[in-house]
Structure 1
Amino acid sequence: MAWSAGRSPAGCLLVAATILTGHLSIGWSNDAIDAVRDTIVNRTDKPVVRNLITRRTLAVAASVMLVVTIPVSLANGIAAGLVHLLFVACAWAYNLGLKSTVISWLPYAVAFGGLPSFVTLGTTHTWAPWWATTAAALLGVGAHLANVVPDLKDDLATGVRGWPQRLGANARLLAPLPLAAATALLVIAPAGPIGLVGWIALAVASGLLTTIVLWRQAPFLVTIAIAGVSVAALVLRGGAL
């Protein structure tokens, strides 16, 4: 998206480094904080449960990356850097407890919604248009639902009662809706003709959404595919930012 919005190659690498350091701190802190829960439900896909790394090592690594991502973020410019650090703060707040509340969706909406402006503030020093911000926020809410659905039973067994867990089985059917809305907004809202690529994106998203509605046992990857279409549309519309 940074490239499509006009960032130089060096600027794109800086964006990649910013996102990478921030996400390493987020992912490692998540595994460290959830280590006890993951062990209780025997999450063998987690390195702590498999004794490949200690919880303390993950916590230290996450803290180091949190410190590193601050200057790396601000290297994009003060405004852009602060927007990215807001993203990181939202994710850490989610890991530290908001995931177990009815507003578990809020950190995702705020964090994802700020990502387009992180790119534009570091490129043209302007805020991203409303449609990009709204679509990214919807993408975040959809990602939250889609991310939680496979772990619903484990989460409930360990006392995690966020918004998707409270929805129960309905979370699976609801997850594609904000993703589909994000795709539609990214294709329709920007100025200019929709174009062939836009119509293809809408058709693919509609087909995937129909599949999920008609086939309740549709593979989880179908929902992820809708998210992929949304991301592709956001990248293709980068020039409109």
Structure 2
Amino acid sequence: MSSDLSHGRAVAGPALRGLVGTAHIGPALAVTVLSGLLAAAQGLGPGRGALVVAAVLAGQLSVGWSNDLLDLDRDRRAGRTDKPLASGEVSASVVRACCAVAVAACLVLSLACGAVAGVVHLGCVAAAWAYNLGLKSTPWSWLPYAAAFGGLTAFVTLADGQAPPWWWPVGAALLGVGAHLLNVLPDLEDDAATGVHGLPHALGRRRIAPVAAAVLVSATAVVLLGAAPGAVVAAVAGVVVVALAVVVVTGAGRRPFAAAVGIALVDAVLLVAAR
């Protein structure tokens, strides 16, 4: 009996790791943390804030799992051993079931935040799914990121019955576009080999990082303009963002994307400080 239990745990461990990996957990948690910081900046109470964060996490999990499910054949053709679903570390049926649960949870949790707020958040998730379903292979690949990130700020404020200040969705939309450009950077060759030609592919490897850095710094400028923090806060934030932008331009592998997430978090902290 104990050997059966040990065997079950040995099988479940890699499957659970594969399920987490297939969810694109890094970006999913980054967006979820961002939503929590926005909720704090808006002054949502603990209960409403937790509901917003839970809705965003469920939506992000559905996006990550659907991405790898839809890309399964392409990832197998490209020999993507870093993809748990393509390598067989976790089964498609398990990921599909988890994705369905995440979609249902996202629907319920989003609408629990209010009808208008819920519809806005479901629109954000739908935009991300549209990217997975084919927009990533077009010159409009940036649009779902802009819509989803910008709409996220509206979801948070509408959950409190208020429209967002203009600089929240504008700054967040720019962050989304910058994140999109850098997220694709490590996969350019594999994408090209399997017929994916979005905006980053049109720009080419040498131009992606500088363009992304410019977009991300523009996002910070919008946030600083709107938040109008004190001179010291603005100066520190500017130095940190410029340093991260240098990593975006000169870094290799996943470091540019991590730096982009860092810029997003700096901007989120500015939002909180502005309140």
- TM exceeds 0.5? yes
1:225 has 2:259 as partner: yes
Following superposition, the deviation at residue 129 of structure 1 comes to: 1.0
Q: Which runs of 5+ in 2 are unaligned?
A: 1-36
Following superposition, the deviation at residue 239 of structure 1 comes to: 6.3
1:154 has 2:168 as partner: no
Q: Which runs of structure 2 are paired with 1:72-221 in the superposition (5 Å)?
A: 72-123=109-160, 125-169=161-205, 170-190=207-227, 192-210=228-246, 215=250, 220-221=254-255
Following superposition, the deviation at residue 168 of structure 1 comes to: 1.3
Following superposition, the deviation at residue 83 of structure 1 comes to: 1.1
Q: Which runs of 5+ in 1 are unaligned?
A: none
Aligned match for 2:53, one of 16, 19, 36: 16
Aligned to 2:27: none
Q: Which amino acid aligns with 2:215?
A: P
Aligned to 2:71: 34
Aligned CA distance change for structure 1 residues 104 and 127 (closer, same or farther; 3 Å): same
Following superposition, the deviation at residue 240 of structure 1 comes to: 4.6
Aligned to 2:16: none
Determine if contact 2:224/2:270 at 8 Å carries over to the other structure: no
Aligned CA distance change for structure 1 residues 168 and 8 (closer, same or farther; 3 Å): same
Determine if contact 1:5/1:239 at 8 Å carries over to the other structure: no
Mapped partners of 1:194, 1:59: distance in 2 = 48
Following superposition, the deviation at residue 8 of structure 1 comes to: 1.3
RMSD of equivalent CA atoms: 2.0
**Range moving further from structure 2, 230-239 or 145-154:** 230-239
**Range moving further from structure 2, 227-236 or 11-20:** 227-236
Mapped partners of 2:210, 2:132: distance in 1 = 24
Following superposition, the deviation at residue 197 of structure 1 comes to: 2.2
Mapped partners of 2:107, 2:171: distance in 1 = 26
Aligned to 2:270: 236
TM-score (norm 2): 0.80
| SS in structure 2 of the partner of residue 160 of structure 1 | coil
Determine if contact 2:248/2:255 at 8 Å carries over to the other structure: no
Tell me the percent identity. Answer: 45
Determine if contact 1:108/1:141 at 8 Å carries over to the other structure: yes
Following superposition, the deviation at residue 66 of structure 1 comes to: 1.3
**CA shift digits 1:174-217 (9 cap, x unpaired):** 12221111112112222x4434222211112223334655x4x6
Q: Which runs of structure 2 are paired with 1:44-63 in the superposition (5 Å)?
A: 44-63=81-100
TM-score (norm 1): 0.90
Determine if contact 1:5/1:240 at 8 Å carries over to the other structure: no
Aligned CA distance change for structure 1 residues 28 and 232 (closer, same or farther; 3 Å): same
Aligned CA distance change for structure 1 residues 138 and 51 (closer, same or farther; 3 Å): same
Determine if contact 2:223/2:270 at 8 Å carries over to the other structure: no
Aligned CA distance change for structure 1 residues 212 and 127 (closer, same or farther; 3 Å): same
Determine if contact 1:186/1:230 at 8 Å carries over to the other structure: no
Mapped partners of 1:39, 1:6: distance in 2 = 46
How many residues were matched structurally? 237
